[in-house]
């Protein structure tokens, strides 16, 4: 079961359930002129066993246009399922249902890489045939969640983070041009890395699309300036410690590192079990921290995720009451000005809140979580005016 709604700011939020987990998706255009992100949630990922017990999640962060991200979101899953490796997985697991042996895991990893390369090749073919005359590209972060393992595929600088109780969070590695192995490939293909970008222009070194960076004669597709080959990670699931999985574009990670993001989500889960609310607060907090990019986040919570703690709820309510009182004072002061009332926005109010409210933050709570409270107060004020 899932539902979608679009709030007053054009923010799209989904929420739903899968076996042993719940998920929510939130997406915001932010300060950008266009929305170039796309995402996919497919539960189950297919009606065919064993995929009927698996789930698929993906975030695509487009650049230089929307078509690459949109096309990838619409076609990635069926392209993966059509690979020879995935077809072999169907055969193997029909013979041994529920058994994810080493050979099967290798087939899946190889199939994911093949699927990405096939999708990129099909996009190039469409370009060459004139179906799309596109220069856009897109990063990708995908997760296949099975009963025993999580398979992650990363291409570019979107990222997956897995939070496990009492352990350092696991994060995928970004593909940036200044990373040594990426720089070596770029230079070997005749390119350069300037201002941390491919040929001084593109900020990622692996992507779908971006075909102007994939035209060096005599090199195969994975040797080009920009490669469409993802890194694939295979992670055994541990129900006792797996808390949640986050898939997000760089609009999130530009302002929050892995540890900070996990701490923030943990603090929110201790005060609410509404995952759409938590996903919404992630975006609001990143907006407050200065993110100027499109933002999309998928949050998948497993059974070991933090539960609502009554004491944490009490502290949160006290803190929110202080925020409400201070915002009310700020707005009242503005109303009393003789030279005319200014229409304060959320960012101005957040600056006015200052250190007093920051010092009152409950332990583990990010000051920028106040943004949700501020937005709510300003919305009510606008309705009353």
In DSSP notation, 7-74 reads: -TT--EEEEEEETTEEEEEEEE-TTSSS--EEEEEESSS-SSTTGGG-EEEEEEEEESSSHHHHHHHH
pTM (2 d.p.): 0.90
Q: What is the largest CA-CA distance in the chain?
A: 80
A 10 A CB-CB count for 28 gives 27
What pLDDT is stored for residue 341 in this prediction? 55
Of 10-24, 100-114, 154-168, 245-259, least confident by mean pLDDT is: 10-24
Averaged pLDDT, 264-283: 94
Q: How confident is the model at residue 364 (pLDDT cuts 50, 70, 90)?
A: low
User: Between residues 385 and 374, which one has the greater pLDDT?
Assistant: 374
pLDDT above 90: residue 338:
no
The span from the CA of 302 to the CA of 14, in Å, is 17
The span from the CA of 186 to the CA of 199, in Å, is 9
The span from the CA of 315 to the CA of 322, in Å, is 11
- The sign one gets for the Cα dihedral 197, 203, 208, 211 is negative
What pLDDT is stored for residue 6 in this prediction? 35
The span from the CA of 33 to the CA of 231, in Å, is 31
CATH fold for the domain made of 2-302:
Phosphatase 2c; domain 1 (3.60.40)
pLDDT above 90: residue 363:
no
Averaged pLDDT, 259-272: 94
pLDDT above 70: residue 97:
yes
Q: How far apart are the first and last CA of the chain?
A: 38
What pLDDT is stored for residue 3 in this prediction? 35
Q: Given its phi and psi angles, is residue 166 left (phi above 0), alpha (psi -120 to 50 degrees) or beta?
A: left
- The sign one gets for the Cα dihedral 27, 131, 208, 45 is positive
A 10 A CB-CB count for 90 gives 14
- The sign one gets for the Cα dihedral 364, 30, 298, 178 is negative
The span from the CA of 65 to the CA of 34, in Å, is 8
How do the domains of the chain map onto residue ranges?
2-302, 310-384
The span from the CA of 138 to the CA of 67, in Å, is 9
The 8 Å CB, 24+ separation contacts for 92-98 are: 93/49, 93/50, 94/49, 94/50, 97/49, 97/50, 98/50, 98/147, 98/148
The span from the CA of 63 to the CA of 57, in Å, is 20
């Amino acid at each position: 079961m899932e539902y979608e709604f679009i709030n007053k700011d054009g923010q799209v939020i989904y929420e739903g359930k899968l076996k042993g987990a719940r998920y929510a998706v939130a997406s915001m255009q932010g300060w950008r002129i266009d929305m170039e992100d796309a995402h996919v949630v497919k539960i189950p990922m297919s009606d065919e066993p064993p995929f009927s017990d698996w789930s698929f999640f993906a975030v695509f962060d487009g650049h230089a246009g929307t078509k690459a991200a949109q096309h990838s979101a619409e076609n990635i899953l069926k392209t993966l399922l059509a690979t020879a490796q995935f077809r072999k997985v169907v055969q193997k697991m029909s013979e041994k249902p529920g058994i994810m042996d080493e050979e099967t895991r290798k087939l899946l990893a190889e199939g994911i890489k093949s699927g990405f390369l096939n999708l990129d090749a099909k996009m190039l073919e469409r370009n060459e045939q004139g179906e799309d005359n596109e220069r856009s590209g897109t990063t990708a972060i995908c997760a296949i969640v099975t009963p025993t393992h999580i398979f992650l595929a990363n291409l570019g600088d979107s990222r997956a983070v897995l939070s496990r109780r009492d352990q350092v969070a696991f994060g995928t590695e970004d593909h940036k041009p200044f990373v040594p192995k990426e720089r070596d490939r770029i230079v070997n293909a005749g390119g350069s890395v300037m201002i941390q970008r491919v040929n001084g222009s593109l900020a990622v070194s692996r992507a779908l699309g971006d075909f102007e960076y994939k035209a060096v004669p005599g090199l195969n597709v994975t040797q080009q300036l920009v490669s469409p080959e993802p890194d694939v990670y295979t992670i055994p699931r541990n129900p006792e410690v797996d808390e949640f999985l986050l898939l997000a574009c760089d609009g999130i990670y530009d302002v929050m590192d892995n540890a900070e993001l996990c701490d923030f989500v943990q603090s929110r889960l201790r005060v609410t079990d509404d995952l759409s609310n938590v996903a919404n607060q992630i975006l609001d907090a990143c907006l407050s921290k200065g993110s100027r990019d499109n933002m999309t986040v998928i949050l998948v919570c497993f059974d070991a995720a933090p539960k609502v703690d009554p004491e944490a709820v009490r502290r949160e309510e006290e803190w929110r009451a202080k925020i409400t009182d201070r915002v009310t004072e700020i707005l009242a002061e503005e109303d009393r000005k003789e030279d005319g009332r200014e229409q304060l926005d959320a960012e101005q109010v957040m600056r006015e809140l200052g250190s007093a409210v920051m010092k009152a933050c409950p332990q583990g709570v990010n000051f920028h979580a106040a943004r949700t409270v501020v937005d709510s107060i300003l919305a009510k004020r606008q309705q009353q005016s």
